[in-house]
Amino acid sequence: MNEVRNEKIKIVCDHIYTADCKGHFYTDAVMFISKGRIYWVGNRRDAPLELLNDRYEEFDARGRIAMPGLINGHGHSNLNSYRGISDAADFTQWANELAPYTSALVKDDVDKNNEMSVMEMLKGGTTCICDCTRFGAGRLADACANAGMRCLAGGLANSPEYRKNGKPNYESIECSLQVYKEKYREDDRMEFFMGAHAAYSCTADMIQKAYEKSKEIGNRFIIHTAETMAEEALIIERTGMRPIQWLAHLGILTPRTVLIHCVQINSDDIDILEQAGSSVIHCPISNAKLGNGISPVKKLLERGIHVGLGTDSMLSNNALDMFQEIKMAALVSRLRGADQSLSNETLVKMATSECARVMGLEHVGSLEPGKAADILLVKPWHPFGYNKERFLSDVVFYMNPSLVDTVFVKGNMVYHRGTLVQINEKCMKKSIEDHYRRKVI
């Protein structure tokens, strides 16, 4: 679907939380948007007179609060339909139970699953996802373009020597990403990356090969790392090193590298990450469901390592709800000890501006002049009204997708009060159901 743009929009709302470096919280607020980017944001009484008198189309959001659209730092959208196939609490058992399904995906499965995922994310206030797949790399961009969502879409190479249920995929990923990168070269909502699946599923040559190719595709290299104790034991057995040490030895830990999970890491690993400048995506619900442990996020942040939040797949999470993810990140941080708890603002930024930084998407993630107008309007209620502290508390511990009122991506309304604006949800669901009636699960 072609991008539809309102050239000038003025959003008037009760409050705006910016998630910028100063964490501004404005009351009786207004935001001016021009050509898909934020031009001015602040208290209405401080707005320049020339803007108030200019011909901006007003969107009345009184009774609502604006914040940046949520960013899902890690997902596998093409696996959506297999939700609930396995709820095993052991990672290895879970992976083995899923393999017959995830290894048999065809193009139509990928497309239908991507459509389901995009619908759910937009309705839950997520405006951007970093999406990883082993097959059909880049195809998520089609679903995102149709619905008006933003994405960083890519593929994770694996080695058949180590992934017996898989098949060689490096060449298909490389080819597919080049095709989709060219297809969307004029659409800055769609960006792409090349990655490797994991240290346990890739040879050293494959990891290094994928890392070098990633420089041609985009500005990030992504790999699952240090997710389980079994992975740690396997990599030590193969290499004599822990996973983080092994990746550093291969020379692929740099500021462009994003490590997914980082649960089973120690102080030496954190030293390496700090020195390398690599970033981390924390997936607390997935880690909890599979019994993998809790990432030491506070320790990473204290060392200047950037950390974002992600849901992981529908198979290891069973939802794509970033509000749930924020709350779980808060709760599990406290299980590590009171001194390891994360502040509410830190948690909200991990799903907005900090996640954008991790993904190399620094033109989104906060509501400030020059940034893309990816905006979430929520409609919570509190008997005392809202200040910054009360609002952040509600985002972390109270909110859910039912409180999402309106979503804008690049200044375009893509969701409004229960309706996906750019796609027909009823027709799309019917098409998906028809597709899966022909399959036996």
- On the question of pLDDT at 272 being above 80, the answer is yes
More confident call, 79 vs 220: 220
Considering all CA atoms of the chain, what is the largest pairwise distance in Å, rounded to the nearest integer? 69
What is the per-residue pLDDT across 113-122, written as a single tens digit (0 to 9) for each? 999 999 999 9
Burial readout 425-434 (b: 16 or more C-beta within 10 A, e: otherwise): beebeeebee
Q: What is the pTM of this model?
A: 0.96
Q: SS3 of 291, please?
A: coil
pLDDT tens digits for range 70-129: 999 999 998 888 787 878 888 888 888 877 777 777 788 889 999 999 999 999 999 999
Give the DSSP H or E segment for 106.
Answer: none
Instruction: State yes or no: pLDDT of 365 exceeds 50.
Output: yes
Residue bearing tokens 């040490």? 245
Q: Using CA atoms, how far apart are residues 73 and 94, in angstroms rounded to an integer? A: 22
* pLDDT tens digit sequence for 40-73: 999 999 999 999 889 899 999 999 999 999 999 9
- Which residues have a Cβ under 8 Å from the Cβ of 198 and sit 6 or more positions away? 156, 158, 223, 224, 225, 227, 231
- Residues whose CB is less than 8 angstroms from the CB of residue 440 and which lie 6 or more positions away in sequence, other chains included: none
Asked if the model's pLDDT at residue 439 lies above 70, the reply is no
Q: Write the CA distances from 198 to 234, 247, 270, integer angstroms.
A: 12, 10, 18
Report d(CA 373, CA 288) in Å as an integer.
34
Q: Is the pLDDT of residue 316 over 70?
A: yes
Please name every residue paired with 157 in a beta bridge, in sequence order, or none if there are none: 196
| Spatial separation of the C-alpha atoms in residues 184 and 180, rounded to whole Å | 6
The strand ranges marked E within 283-323 are 307-309
The span from the CA of 368 to the CA of 265, in Å, is: 35
pLDDT (0 to 100) of residue 1 = 43
Q: What is the pLDDT of residue 350?
A: 98
State which H helix or E strand residue 127 sits in: strand 126-133
Q: What is the secondary structure of 375-390 as a DSSP string?
A: EEEE----TT---HHH
Closest by alpha carbon to 17, among 399, 417, 402? Answer: 399
Contact 174, 214 (CB under 8 A): no
Alpha helical stretches, state H, 28-165 = 49-52, 91-102, 107-123, 140-147
Please, are residues 130 and 194 in contact by the beta-carbon 8 Å criterion? no
Q: Name the residue among 209, 199, 196, 200 with its Cα closest to residue 154.
A: 196
Q: Is 405 within 8 Å of 397 (Cβ atoms)? A: no
Q: What pLDDT is attached to residue 300?
A: 98
Of 40-44, 274-278, 314-318, 336-340, the one with minimum mean pLDDT is: 314-318
- Collapsing DSSP states into helix, strand and coil, what is residue 181? helix
Whether the per-residue pLDDT at 19 is higher than 90: the answer is yes
**Where do the H-state alpha helices sit in 53-139?**
91-102, 107-123
For a pLDDT cut of 90, what percent of the chain falls above it? 83
pLDDT score at 440: 55
pLDDT of residue 7: 83
Strands 404-409 and 412-416: antiparallel
Query: Looking at per-residue confidence, does 262 or 5 come out higher?
Result: 262
- Token pair of 403 as six digits: 């409180």
Task: Count the alpha carbons within 13 Å of 348 in the hemisphere toward its beta carbon.
Answer: 26
The per-residue pLDDT for range 153-175, each reduced to its tens digit, is 999 999 988 877 667 799 999 99
Could you tell me how many helices (H) and strands (E) the chain has, helices first? 16, 16
The one-character DSSP state at 373 is: -
Please report, in angstroms and rounded to a whole number, the separation of the first and last CA atoms in the chain: 32
Cα 102 to Cα 94: distance, rounded to the nearest angstrom: 12
